[in-house]
Amino acid sequence: MMNYYDHFILPFAIGVTVLFTVILYKWIRWFVRMPQEDRRLVLRGIPTRQTLGAIGEVFMESLLHRRIWRVNPLLGYMHTSLAFGWFLLIAVGWVEASLQLPGEIIPLHAHVFFKFFAPEVDYGITGGLLGNIMDLLLLFVLSGVALAWFKRMRSKALGMQRTTKHVLGDRIALAALWFIFPARLVAESATSGLKHSTTFLTGNLGEWMVNTFGTEAIMHFSVYAWWFYSIVLGIFFVAMPFSRYMHIFTEIPLIFLRRYKVHSYEKAKSFDRFQIEACSRCGICIDPCQLQKDAGITNVQSVYFLRDRRYNRLTQEVAYNCLMCGRCETRCPVGIELNTLRLNSREKFAAMPADNRYAYLSSAADRSSGTSKVGYFAGCMTLLTPKILRAMDAIFKAAGEEVWYADKDGGVCCGRPLKLSGEVEAARRIMDFNRDLFRKHGITTLVTSCPICLKVFREDYHLKGIEVLHHSQYILRLIQQGRICVEHGHNSFTYHDPCELGRGSGIYEEPREVISQIGSLLEVDENRENALCCGSSLANIAINDAQQNRISQALAHELADTGADTVVTACPLCKKAIARNASQEVKDLSEVVAEALGQ
């Protein structure tokens, strides 16, 4: 048996050992610490179709990086060439090594240094073919490295206005990664030249090197070249599990777990680690962040938040400085649940409520009366924007709906603001009160005009038997059932998608359908999933009013550019925020409908 050992492979061998030891340790630890129900989901999911789906997704995302192609094709190509190219180098390299190297047992590392160990590098037809394929693959990866260098200088050409500011560990790993493939090219070429290979890249380059510098010089040089190649590989592998490159291996189990329906939720848990360490710090989340664009805040974006959380240095300031608008989440190529992770990082900072703080949640807090099939929960913000309340009144009246008003004479908050600030337990007490209230008054449909309330009713109230509707859905239904008539006029409207209604609850069509029954709808450039936030989000309690206002101004400007007569939105908070800076009239959807009510 041939000896596949030389001293220079040591850095590589140590690197690989450290890498897999650390990764295995992390994976096992995270998995073991997962709550029972999460582990059960995984075990139940393994023998299902989801496993096959996950394998396909790993191929599409971890290797091809399909989602990054959507951000920018050049950026997509860069990621594909690095990930898929390297993968193919390993896979084809194995084939090449097992076919070409003598001996029965070919150790796993032999393919990495194939050209060094092979006696003749393009032996036979397969050898020549494989050698050329390997050269082609190396060229493929090198083109990705070249793009990565180019991106450092001109990120805009790759569709990114701003890129991540990396920490030292990431910079070391990044530098090592940049050197791996050029080092491989040089080392392989030197050896190819000495062994008279004829492959198109390393063969020709090697021949040129030998002809130019002489055989003896290249013989000496090749030793250093292989050492260098092994060292940069070793450095990269050691740095990998501690740096951003941990994402390479973490995204794979994440894809499987996600397929098995494991999710993060309002309290932190072990599964979060799979999401946090799957972040590659690509920085795609930076550009869409309005805190960065409009308020000049540059250290709180999801990439930095996840980094800080991963290294246990998350500050309250970063955790709370987020609008939770979800614009970054829709773009994240790894599909990390950024809003949920932000939310559940806040709990440890939240104050414990005093025992008597919720003493008011007695039956006396119910100031409503009567029972009805349809309940209307205005919400605090609607009570502060009485035009909406009036409009809803007119609509209910026109439809002949008997309505139980949950909070017209004062009610209890829906609980979402508390939840967003991390006070999960306090929020729970409030939610329980309201749920009992809804049950007590016998409603089967719950309408709200506030998307903030809507989201929490839908996701946390578990209102079995009660259909929860946003007023946009309810109004559309009334129109479709012919219970109210609206007149189509000559006004033009533009519509602002509230974060909690659009990205938060997936309601995009209903408000648009209602508006198009009343007038013409002019869309802003960034709408639906990409809609801007109004800046007044309850989720951010770190920014000041001036910063909120700058975000609102940018939005008002976009809306004004449509040239529409009226700005329509479907959230009382958005309405107030936009109205501060709007040049046109700003109305809630219900107001527009109430004004268009026909006979």
Partner 1 sequence: MSKRVIVIGGGVAGMQTAATLAGLGIHPVIIEKGDRLGGKLLNWHKLFPTFTPAGEVLDTLRRQLKDVEIMTNTEVKRIEQSGVVLNDGRLLVSDAVVVCSGFDIFRAEIKEEYGYGIYDNVYTTVDIERMLNEGKVHTADGHIPERIAFLHCVGSRDEKVGQKHCSRVCCITGVKQAMELKELFPQSEIYNFYMDIRMFGPGYEEMYRQAQEEFNIHFIRGRISEASETIDKRVQIKAEDTLIGRPLKMTVDMLILIVGMKAGASNDRFAENRGIELYPSHFIRPRNQFVDNICSSAGNIFYAGTVTAPKNVGESLNEGVAAALRVSKYLED
The binding site for partner 1 (CB under 8 A) comprises 383-387, 390, 408, 410, 544-546, 549, 576, 579-580
Any idea what DSSP says for residue 535? Answer: S
Q: How far is the CB of 594 from partner 1 (least distance, A)?
A: 12
Characterize 550-584 residue by residue with b for buried, 16 or more Cβ atoms within 10 angstroms of its Cβ, and e for exposed: bbbbbbbebbbebebebbbbbbbbbbbbbbbbbeb
Cβ neighbour number for residue 198 with a 10 Å cutoff: 15
Distance in Å, CB of 540 to partner 1, minimum: 15
- Classify burial at 546, counting beta carbons within 10 Å of its beta carbon; exposed 0-12, middle 13-18, buried 19 or more: exposed
Give me the least distance between CB of 565 and partner 1, in Å please: 18
Residue number, 15 or 411, with CB nearest to partner 1: 411
Q: How many residues does the chain have?
A: 599
For the residues of 381-414, what is the DSSP string, one character each?
Answer: HHHTSHHHHHHHHHHHHHHT--EEESSTT-----
CB of 453 vs partner 1, minimal distance in Å? 17
Q: Which is nearer to partner 1, 67 or 408 (CB)?
A: 408
Single-letter amino acid code for the residue at 75 = L
Min dist CB 408 to partner 1, Å, is 8
- The structure tokens 């390993």 sit at 90
Our CB check for partner 1 shows the closer of 239 and 579 to be 579
CB nearer to partner 1: give 297 or 579.
579
Interaxial angle between packed helices 545-561 and 572-579, expressed in degrees from 0 to 180 and rounded to the nearest 10: 90
Q: For residue 499, what are the contacts with CB-CB under 8 A and spacing of at least 6?
A: 323, 324, 325, 326, 451, 531, 533, 534, 537
Spatial contact of 154 and 111, defined as CB atoms under 8 Å apart: no
Choice between 408 and 458, CB closer to partner 1: 408
- Nearest distance in Å: CB 306, partner 1: 32
3-state secondary structure of 588: strand
CB-wise, 409 or 509, nearer to partner 1? 409
Structural contact between residues 319 and 305, judged by C-beta atoms closer than 8 angstroms: yes
For partner 1, the closer of residues 199 and 549 by Cβ is: 549
Closest approach of partner 1 to the CB of residue 69, in Å: 43
Q: How far apart are alpha carbons 500 and 516 in whole angstroms?
A: 22
CB of 597 to partner 1, least distance (A): 17
The answer to whether the CB of 279 falls within 8 A of the CB of 306 is: yes
CB of 383 to partner 1, least distance (A): 6
Query: If you write DSSP's letter for every residue of 426-473 in order, what string do you get?
Result: HHHHHHHHHHHHHHHTT-SEEEES-HHHHHHHHHHS--TT-EEEEHHH
Q: Which is nearer to partner 1, 473 or 547 (CB)?
A: 547
- For the beta sheet containing 403-405, the strands, ordered from the edge strand earlier in sequence to the opposite edge, are 403-405, 374-377, 445-448, 467-470
Q: Which of 321, 341, 235, 325 is nearest to 278 (CA)?
A: 341
Cβ-based nearer residue to partner 1, 373 or 390: 390
Q: How far is Cα 545 from Cα 575, in angstroms, rounded to an integer?
A: 16
Cβ distance to partner 1 smaller for residue 13 or 394: 394
262, exposed or middle or buried, with CB in 10 Å at 0-12, 13-18, 19+? buried
Q: Decide whether 390 or 440 has the Cβ nearer to partner 1.
A: 390
Smallest gap from residue 591 Cβ to partner 1 (A)? 11
Least Cβ distance, residue 410 to partner 1 (angstroms): 8
